Amino acid sequence: MTNAPDRPIAADSIGLLEGLTTTRSIRRYTDDPVPDEAMRDIMFAATRAPSGSNRQPFRFIVLRDGEIAEQAKAIIGRGARAVWAAKRENEGYDKGSGIDPDSPKARMARSMERYVDDMEKVPVLILPCFVRHRPANATEGASVYPACQNLLLAARGLGYGGVLTIWHAYVEDELRELLQLPDDVVIAATITLGKPEGNHGPVRRVPLGDLIYDGVWGDNAAWAVDPSGTRHTSAGPPKPPPS
Amino acid sequence: MTNAPDRPIAADSIGLLEGLTTTRSIRRYTDDPVPDEAMRDIMFAATRAPSGSNRQPFRFIVLRDGEIAEQAKAIIGRGARAVWAAKRENEGYDKGSGIDPDSPKARMARSMERYVDDMEKVPVLILPCFVRHRPANATEGASVYPACQNLLLAARGLGYGGVLTIWHAYVEDELRELLQLPDDVVIAATITLGKPEGNHGPVRRVPLGDLIYDGVWGDNAAWAVDPSGTRHTSAGPPKPPPS
C-alpha cells in the first residue's frame, strides 16, 4: 500500500450486507487518532452518496487537531452536557428501571454521560453541512443524510465507528461564527468518529414486520420476518415511569 | 440456503467499501421481479440504520404487484411525466450541448424519458415514510434518509439497483388517499428498484477537495484527494445555455 494522497481506496475486510446490518452507533473511543489515509477513504465514500439531481450540496467540515478543532469540540461539549442533563431528568433515566445499574436504561445513561463528558477528547468531529439552493422543505435531507450514512459505514469498514447526533443545534450560533459558515448553509448533523472501545455487531430494532407495509398503510407484509435470532428493542428513549 | 421466512441474511458477494463507492442510481430495469427473499434482506438492512434516540420513525410501503401497487405506480408515473416534461424544457436538456445525441445531457434526457415513461413497469416501488413526533425541523431527515441509503446499498449487494427520487411530491394528495396515510406521516421519498439493465460502478462527483474542509468553512483539507483515475462531473443538472 502506498501513502500517496491519490492512492486507491483500502481493501475491504467485511462484506456490504454484513456492514449494513451490524454497524452500531459508537460513542466510546480509544485515544487513537484517525489518520489522514483513513479520513480520505471515509470522506471519499461519504461523497459517493446520491443527492437530488447530483447537485452534491453537502460539505463536510472535519475537525481533528488544532485550535479551531479544540474550540469546536469544547462548544459542542458544553451544549451536549447541558442538553443531556435536561434529557436525563425529563426522560427519567434515573427512575423506574433506571435505579438498577444493570438495566438498559442505566447503561445508556452511563454511556451518554461519558460521551458528553469526553466530547473534547473525541478523535474526530465532523459537521456535515447542507448548502440550500431553494427554500427549506421536508425532503431536502435526502441530499445530505445518505452521505452521512455512507460516512458511518465507511468508518466501520476501516475499523472505526461513529454516531450521528444533532448536538450542534443547541450551540449553533457560536459554531457558525467560529467556523465562518455562510448564511445559506445548514449544519445537518454532528458526527463523532474514532476507534471503538467496544464492538460493532447486530443492532436492536422493533420487529421488522412493524416497519414494513405491503400495499396500504398498516397492511402486514407476510415476507417481512426478522432472521432467526434477531434481538428486538422498543422504539425511542426509555419511557418516563408512571408518575 | 433455506427459504424459511426467518432464514439468515444472504451471503455477501461484494465488500462494504466497494459497495459504498460504486453504487449508482439505477433507472433502467429488466422485467425480472424482486422476490420476497431479496425484499426481506433489503428491508432488514434498511431498518438497521440509525435514527434519533433509536425511535425508528421510518415505515416503508412496498408496492410490487396487485391493484394498489398498480394504481400507485400509475399515479406516480403521471406526476413524474408531467414534472420531467417541464424540467426538460426549463433546464434546456434539448438545447446547447443537448443537441448532440451523444452528449451527457442528451443521454441523461433519454434515460429520464424512459424512466418516467416506464414507471408503471418498475418491479418495485417503495415509499419510505416518516412518522413525525414533533413539529417539522431541518434535521428530521436524519431519522429516515440513512435507512433509505441502507436500502439502496443492500439492493446493490443482492444484485439489484434503485434510485431515490421525490416524484411523489407532485401527486401526494392522491397517493395519501390511495395508501390511507395518517396525517402525521410524511412521504420522504419515492424509491424504485429492480434488476439493472446497466451496471453499477464508480460514480462521478466534483473533486473531493471541493467537498471537504479542514477547520473553518472553505479551508482546504490537504489529505482530501481523489484516488487516482477518479472521474469528475460538475454538480447539478445541466446548466441552461446562455440565452
Among A207, A187, A119, A238, residue whose Cα is nearest residue B40: A207
Q: Do A144 and B146 touch (CB under 8 A)?
A: no
Contact between residue B205 and residue B233 where contact means Cβ atoms under 8 Å apart: yes
Which chain B residues are Cβ-neighbours of A186 within 8 angstroms? 138
* CA A158-A163-A165 angle, 5° bins: 150
Which chain A residues are Cβ-neighbours of B16 within 8 angstroms? 12, 14-16, 18-20, 153-154, 156-157
Helix ranges, chain A (H)? 16-21, 36-46, 67-90, 104-117, 145-157, 172-179
**What is the topology classification, in CATH, of domain A16-202?**
NADH Oxidase (3.40.109)
- The answer to which of A232-236, B116-120, B226-230 has the lowest mean pLDDT is A232-236
Q: Do B227 and A8 touch (CB under 8 A)?
A: yes
Residues with Cβ within 8 Å of A192's Cβ and at least 6 positions away in sequence, in order, are: A27, A29, A119, A122, A124, A125, A126, A162, A163, A165
Distance of CA B43 to the CA centre of its chain: 14
In angstroms, what separates the C-alpha of B147 from chain A's closest C-alpha?
A: 8
Which chain A residues are Cβ-neighbours of B22 within 8 angstroms? 48
**Residues 71 to 130 of B: which have CB under 8 A from any A CB?**
129
Residue range B63-87, pLDDT digits in tens:
999 999 999 999 999 999 999 999 8
Residue range A140-199, pLDDT digits in tens:
999 999 999 999 999 999 999 999 999 999 999 999 999 999 999 999 999 999 999 999
In angstroms, what separates the C-alpha of A199 from chain B's closest C-alpha?
A: 16
| pLDDT of B144 over the 90 cut | yes
Q: Which residue has the higher pLDDT, A87 or B223?
A: B223
CB of B3 within 8 Å of a chain A CB? The answer is no
pLDDT at A226: 98
Among B207, B237, B233, B235, residue whose Cα is nearest residue B96: B237
Q: Give residue A124's pLDDT band: very low, low, confident or very high (50, 70, 90).
A: very high
Residues with Cβ within 8 Å of A209's Cβ and at least 6 positions away in sequence, in order, are: A220, A221, A224, A225, A226
Q: Do B157 and A236 touch (CB under 8 A)?
A: no
Distances (CA, A) of A7 to A1, A11, A160, B97: 8, 11, 20, 34
- The answer to which of B81-95, B118-132, B175-189 has the lowest mean pLDDT is B81-95
Q: Do B16 and A157 touch (CB under 8 A)?
A: yes
Query: Could you tell me how many CB contacts below 8 A there are between chain A and chain B?
Result: 331
Which chain A residues are Cβ-neighbours of B216 within 8 angstroms? 61, 68, 178-180
Q: Give residue A241's pLDDT band: very low, low, confident or very high (50, 70, 90).
A: low
pLDDT at A98: 87
Residue range B186-212, pLDDT digits in tens:
999 999 999 999 999 999 999 999 999
Residue A204 class from Cβ within 10 Å (0-12 exposed, 13-18 middle, 19+ buried)? Answer: middle
Burial A64-74 (b: 16+ CB within 10 A, else e): beeebbebbbe
Q: Give residue A2's pLDDT band: very low, low, confident or very high (50, 70, 90).
A: low
Among B47, B53, B56, B140, residue whose Cα is nearest residue A237: B53
Mean pLDDT of A117-146: 96
Could you tell me what percent of chain B has a pLDDT over 70?
97
Which chain A residues are Cβ-neighbours of B38 within 8 angstroms? none
Among A223, A72, A149, residue whose Cα is nearest residue B35: A223
In angstroms, what separates the C-alpha of A177 from chain B's closest C-alpha?
A: 10
Distances (CA, A) of B194 to A164, A220, B25, B35, B158: 30, 22, 11, 10, 11
Q: At what angle do helices B145-157 and A145-157 cross, to 10 degrees?
A: 60
pLDDT at B2: 62
Q: Do B16 and A141 touch (CB under 8 A)?
A: no
Q: Give residue B242's pLDDT band: very low, low, confident or very high (50, 70, 90).
A: low
Which chain A residues are Cβ-neighbours of B47 within 8 angstroms? 205, 208, 211-212
Q: Which residue has the higher pLDDT, A10 or A242?
A: A10
Q: Cα(A9)–Cα(A34) distance, rounded to whole angstroms?
A: 15
Amino acid in the structure at residue B206: V
Distance of CA A112 to the CA centre of its chain: 13
Mean pLDDT of B136-156: 97
CB of B66 within 8 Å of a chain A CB? The answer is yes
Among B153, B240, B233, B70, residue whose Cα is nearest residue A151: B153
Q: Give residue B181's pLDDT band: very low, low, confident or very high (50, 70, 90).
A: very high
And the C-alpha cell for B124? 418495485
CB of B235 within 8 Å of a chain A CB? The answer is yes
pLDDT at A240: 61
**What is the topology classification, in CATH, of domain B29-201?**
NADH Oxidase (3.40.109)
Optimal mutation site among A16, A42, A65, A213, interface B, most CBs of chain B within 10 A: A16
Q: How many CA atoms lie within 13 A of B128 on its CB side?
A: 31
Q: Cα(A210)–Cα(A194) distance, rounded to whole angstroms?
A: 33
Q: Do A208 and B153 touch (CB under 8 A)?
A: no
pLDDT at B163: 98
* CA A187-A193-A194 angle, 5° bins: 165
Q: Is B198 helix (H, G, I), strand (E, B) or coil?
A: coil
Optimal mutation site among A149, A172, A216, A233, interface B, most CBs of chain B within 10 A: A149
- Please tell me the pTM assigned to this model: 0.96
| pLDDT of A239 over the 90 cut | no
Q: Cα(A212)–Cα(B61) distance, rounded to whole angstroms?
A: 6
Residue range B7-44, pLDDT digits in tens:
999 999 999 999 999 999 999 999 999 999 999 999 99
Q: Give residue A92's pLDDT band: very low, low, confident or very high (50, 70, 90).
A: confident
Q: Do A235 and B14 touch (CB under 8 A)?
A: no
| pLDDT of A79 over the 80 cut | yes
Q: Which residue has the higher pLDDT, A102 or B157?
A: B157
* CA B96-B97-B102 angle, 5° bins: 150
Amino acid in the structure at residue B57: P
Q: Cα(B143)–Cα(B178) distance, rounded to whole angstroms?
A: 25
Distances (CA, A) of B148 to A238, B47, B109, B154, B191: 26, 9, 25, 10, 8
| pLDDT of A39 over the 60 cut | yes
In angstroms, what separates the C-alpha of B220 from chain A's closest C-alpha?
A: 10
Q: Phi and psi for B186 in degrees, rounded to 5?
A: -105, 130
And the C-alpha cell for B181? 396515510
pLDDT at A108: 87
pLDDT at A238: 75
Query: Where in chain A do CATH 3.40.109.10 domains reside?
Result: 16-202
Q: Do A217 and B179 touch (CB under 8 A)?
A: yes
Query: Where in chain B do CATH 3.40.109.10 domains reside?
Result: 29-201
Q: Cα(A39)–Cα(A47) distance, rounded to whole angstroms?
A: 12
pLDDT at B243: 52
Terminal CA-CA length for chain B? 60
